[in-house]
Amino acid sequence: GAFFIPYFIFFFTCGIPVFFLEVALGQYTSQGSVTAWRKICPLLQGIGLASVVIESYLNIYYIVILAWALFYLFSSFTSELPWTTCTNSWNTEHCMDFLNGSGARTATPSENFTSPVMEFWERRVLGITSGIHDLGALRWELALCLLLAWVICYFCIWKGVKTTGKVVYFTATFPYLMLIILLIRGVTLPGASEGIIYYLKPDLLRLKDPQV
């Protein structure tokens, strides 16, 4: 809950003002990010160039997350979800299915157990190696998911506003529909009220932690 304090401070003091500034400049000048600042003041065109560079980096970053989501989507087309059991080839002897109480038969009580969800994420999806000296092999499944993500993005914008406007009808409504479904499912689970209270109750001492 302590995260919401700095989040809302920066949201109202930085996020919303900058958002309205960009929208107002775009509508007033009817130009792109670079030419809009050049039209206002040539000395400030570097702001537009910097925004283009930042957006390019963000696109490269978030497209990988979309590739992970596609990988999970394709992996879910099975009768038994692969991240719910400890009987897969990528699971270790420390894997423990806490829901069914299976797995981790060879581990001692002093050793740390790992969930099948974490092992699927670290060993199947990411393929984390022992260190930076071991780069590992090419993950062709993730590479294909990444290629598919770029292809989807291309066909969403390849005809400009004509296709983008149609895609927005789906992208602007479907995520909220899924979030509402997940919210209804989450609040009906056992212990949901305790989890919500723990999430919203702020611990002001955590504000000293830079990771918050």
Interhelix angle 192-200/174-187, rounded to 10 degrees, is 110
In tens digits, the chain (212 residues) has pLDDT values of: 677 888 889 999 999 998 898 888 888 888 888 888 888 888 888 988 998 999 899 989 999 999 999 999 999 998 888 998 888 888 888 888 876 655 555 445 546 788 899 999 999 998 888 888 888 888 899 999 999 999 988 888 887 767 777 788 888 888 899 999 999 988 888 888 888 888 777 777 777 777 76
Which residues 6+ apart lie within 8 Å of 196 measured at CB? 187
pLDDT, position 181: 94
Q: Can you tell me the distance from the alpha carbon of 191 to that of 44, in angstroms, rounded to the nearest whole number?
A: 53
